[in-house]
Structure 1
């Protein structure tokens, strides 16, 4: 059983009377949301789809933790933003000047990419929830239970607790009403009056009523279980950094049970993913990342979804932007064809294709490897590419071709320039002089066949393969490999290229004959 359906089935069995299955994920908009963070969302998304497929009503919520403090200036943000460290993300200007706040800029960037994937989510903006007073009752409850919360936290630490620390502990952050930063210290909590007094490093002091406050946020390990309870969450994944024995989930699970009297949601830890050739751990707060939008320049959304769907959340994997792009496209295309032909036997792959919601769409798309091999030869002219495809029995409208060709062009020019193959301007005479008599005879025969055969004739390839005919099949196979390598080098100065009839169509019969004419 596919992992998403296994989780969904377990949830249904655990909550047989649940009317709506609330599944959650969330990210702090500390910078551009990278493809590693994307696993947080996509894991939940697949479980939601599986629940829906099993006939259950779902609610998929995503929390933007934009009331968190700004901790670090990312590499792609002006160093002047150091002045805002300590403020909440929603209370910082957009470093790029196109949105109302720092938070909104990175939220909009990620939300737009989710639309491309067809992922529909109910977004919850935590700065709005906190400042509206939605959580004030729970904040007051946590304050009154602060010593019990301290005891729970200390159960997961190796350090010794003390009565002094217990009395001084408060499970929340206060943003100063004057400077907006969290450089604050609580100096008095009047439980009966439900008021709290704080002072800030900026010199400001203030006393506020908890039930009227709009500048208080619960600390993470209290905030998380509080929101589980508020939203009745039954499933949420988390990264491996939250999943250790003393990690955030296990701590929050105890706080949920003992402080908020709520059973923590089922939890699936996920491994981080990487980008092949990309050094260092991706991080939104440092700017060392690759975003879903950037990956969409290379891969169609269905393939990205498929790559996440086919691996269990506990499995780490890398996404390639080098030659692996060809492998990933080819693998997906093969699975699609087999599925449509009802010859795909792997049930998990079938479900992964279904979860990527594109098995029908991709069947109408041209092959990426073919497009990538022909595009440079026609100087990235999509209209000419369309004509060549039509000559070979593959008819697509121009927009369908562009869906693949735009990504192939980006990949070649920005990630894998070795594929930017161009036709030789002059004959490769120096190479031809290195050939032995047998190899030269191969070229002479090929030139003759091209001159006498229509380049769309299906018999052309049979004649070409016959050039290296030999009674020993191993020798013949080796000769054919050597022959094609030589031909591509003589025409393209590359050891490989598109299928030969298509190569002739792309550069023209006359140009091909000219580059092979050494007699």
Structure 2
């Protein structure tokens, strides 16, 4: 542990870099509250998406990194701003028009269109927690509705009354002229309609802790800011939440980055030191557009888990958080295989290498052994060549390739075989496009089939890769990658794949020869030859 801690103090892995920044906050004295508080915020205006998971996953990685370099206790809070008014009806819910009458009501006052929870906010909170629990995160969940109504926010709200003019100065600098005329940091909840009102204040009484305003019909109301009758606008709420909870670290997406001075200014004005920040780049969908909760574009957590393990998703989240990443189906196989490559490397690494290995952060310093003796990309090619419809069909080939492997002894491989069949059926098979070989390719493929028929060497990846390589060289392919591209396009209907020698070892020498002969026969029949 000492070696790891020493290595962590100089590691350039981003979780340790962030953890050291948090630790520096308390280099002179430990926190008065007795712990370091990490927070993630969540706006439940739509169904939780994969970016929300990424925020909690990454924050957890930093929290665990902090725990390695410091003995100060930690907490992680997941805060849901479910008191926010529903500004528009999400497109991806049942019977969306039924929600039109509830616009501007707090999300916890909007009926649940799915009919399973007390409100739409409660439904989306439950979805978020289920997703997070799937990954075993340790966190405390706080609902803004409960936080306001229970009085836990009262002290900060009363302080906001006292500092109203100063807080308004911070906010008004960031607003257009027309917005300034009606803006207030306070949003009253209408006592009759229950809607969140965006109206200017006629008076803020700091002594009484009350606000006075006219509603949209011109009627005057006076309400206490405490007890959940008033909420803060979302930007002031961000900084006020930091102050109320004593947050030490929060990360958020690049789209929030211009608001950082506002959040910090609000927190300082309320008398509390702002937390450390980490701004990450956004996830993009198939078309390079930002993922949106209301649109439902991009991958969901459930969709990723249909085709790959939770750990592969965590690996994807670890990689280059300050780089925008396309989050679409085709990133899954690469994430799976790279994750297992890192797992296999871990046992032979020293402390400095281990704390820089993604699996250290995914598994909190205790990564499991990889039993994936067949890469996921290879399993996809196997599913394609064997027309496998079940993972049991895949195991016929896997057992021959790795006689000591079984679903019981290699559960990660067993799961991956099932994922590969499903992924192949849904994404590979519909896009397969076989092409006819040219004369050079046909001659080389016939030669390869013949050499495989007569092959009596070791059925091993490297030996068979050498054989394939030799055929391409003998037939004058330059560069040789053109030869391998031809193999995949003619035999499997795709332009690339894993090392073909490994595929032959897995699929079978005679079976691969037959696959080549069948492909050439098919092309002959189609061309009328």
One of 303, 306, 315 as aligned partner of 1:306: 315
Match of 2:506 among 496, 502, 507: 502
Which residue does the alignment assign to 2:40? 25
With over 3 angstroms needed to count, the CA separation of the structure-2 counterparts of 1:482 and 1:225, relative to structure 1, is closer
Is 2:260 the partner of 1:253? no
* 1:354 counterpart = 2:360: yes
Task: Measure, in 2, the Cα distance between the counterparts of 1:396 and 1:177.
Answer: 64
User: Could you report, residue by residue, the CA deviation over 1:79-103 in whole angstroms, capped at 9, with x for unpaired residues?
Assistant: 3322221111111111222222111
Q: For the Cα contact (< 8 Å) 1:388–1:506, is it kept in 2?
A: no
CA deviation string 1:122-177 (max 9, x = no partner): 11111111122222333233223322222233345575999xx6xx8642111112
Following the alignment from structure 1 to structure 2, what is the Cα–Cα distance between the partners of residues 488 and 56? 55
Relative to 1, partners in 2 of residues 1:51 and 1:443: Cα closer, same or farther, differing over 3 Å? closer
Matches within 5 A, 1:176-255: 176-183=190-197, 185=199, 186-187=201-202, 189=204, 192-201=207-216, 206-211=221-226, 213-244=227-258, 247=259, 249-255=260-266
CA displacement at 1:7 relative to structure 2? 1.8
Query: In structure 2, what is the Cα distance between the partners aligned to 1:415 and 1:441?
Result: 30
Q: Secondary structure at the residue paired with 2:418?
A: helix
Partner of residue 454 from structure 2, selected from 445, 449, 452: 449
Gapped regions of structure 2 (runs ≥ 5): 1-10, 525-529
Please state if 1:389 is matched with 2:376: no
Normalising by the residue count of structure 1, what TM-score does the alignment of the two structures yield? 0.80
Structure 1 position 32, deviation (Å): 1.9
- 1:22-61 residue CA offsets vs partner (Å, 9 max, x unmatched): 1111010011222334443233222111111223311111
* Pair 1:142-2:160 in alignment: yes
Q: Which residue matches 1:115?
A: 133
Change (3 A) 1:203 1:48: same
- Counterpart in the other structure of 1:67: 83
Separation of aligned partners in 2, 1:181 and 1:235: 32
Give the corresponding residue for 1:328.
Answer: 335
Aligned equivalents of 2:87 and 2:441: distance in 1?
A: 68
Paired residue for 2:378? 370
Give 5+ residue unaligned stretches, structure 1.
423-427
Deviation at 1:189, TM superposition (A): 4.8
In structure 2, how many angstroms separate the alpha carbons of the residues matched to 1:378 and 1:467?
23
Which has more radius of gyration? 1
1:409 is the counterpart of 2:417: no
Is the contact between residue 20 and residue 59 of structure 1 (CA under 8 Å) also seen in structure 2?
yes
Compare 354-363 and 478-487 and name the one that shifted more.
478-487
Match status 1:295 vs 2:295:
no
Q: Do the aligned partners of residues 58 and 99 (structure 1) sit closer, same or farther apart at CA in structure 2, a change above 3 Å counting?
A: same
TM-score by length of 2: 0.79
1:509/1:214 Cα in 2 relative to 1: closer, same or farther (>3 Å)?
same
User: Separation in 2 of the partners of 1:82 and 1:122?
Assistant: 32
Q: Deviations over 1:313-366 (max 9, x none)?
A: 4333333422x443333333322222233389856642x220111874361234
Distance 1:333 1:269 in 2: 28
Match for residue 84 of structure 1 among 102, 123, 126? 102
| Equivalent residue, structure 1, for 2:14 | 3
Give the direction of change, closer, same or farther, for the CA distance of 1:469–1:287 in structure 2 (3 Å limit). closer
Task: Specify which of 159, 172, 186 is matched with residue 186 of structure 2.
Answer: 172
**1:360-388 deviation digits (Å, cap 9, x = unpaired):** 43612342112211124242221222232
Aligned to 2:273: 263
The change in CA–CA distance for 1:93 and 1:402 in structure 2 (over 3 A counts) is farther
How many pairs were matched up? 493
d(CA) in 2 for partners of 1:105, 1:207: 32
SS in 2 for 1:147: helix
Which residue of the partner structure matches residue 7 of structure 2? none
Does the C-alpha gap of structure 1 residues 506 and 92 become closer, same or farther in structure 2, counting only changes over 3 Å?
farther
CA distance change for structure 1 residues 200 and 383 in 2, over 3 Å: closer, same or farther? Answer: same
Quick one: structure 1 residues 474 and 169, their matched pair in 2 at CA, closer, same or farther if it must change by over 3 Å?
Answer: same
Contact 1:23–1:48 (Cα < 8 Å) also in 2: yes
CA contact (8 A) 1:446 1:467 kept: no
CA deviations over 1:259-297 (Å, ceiling 9, x no partner):
x2111111222221224x234221113333432332233
Q: 1:169 to 1:34 in 2, by over 3 A?
A: closer
Structure 2 vs 1, CA of residues 345 and 385 (structure 1 numbering), >3 Å: closer, same or farther? farther
CA displacement at 1:300 relative to structure 2: 2.1
Q: CA deviation at 1:204?
A: 6.9
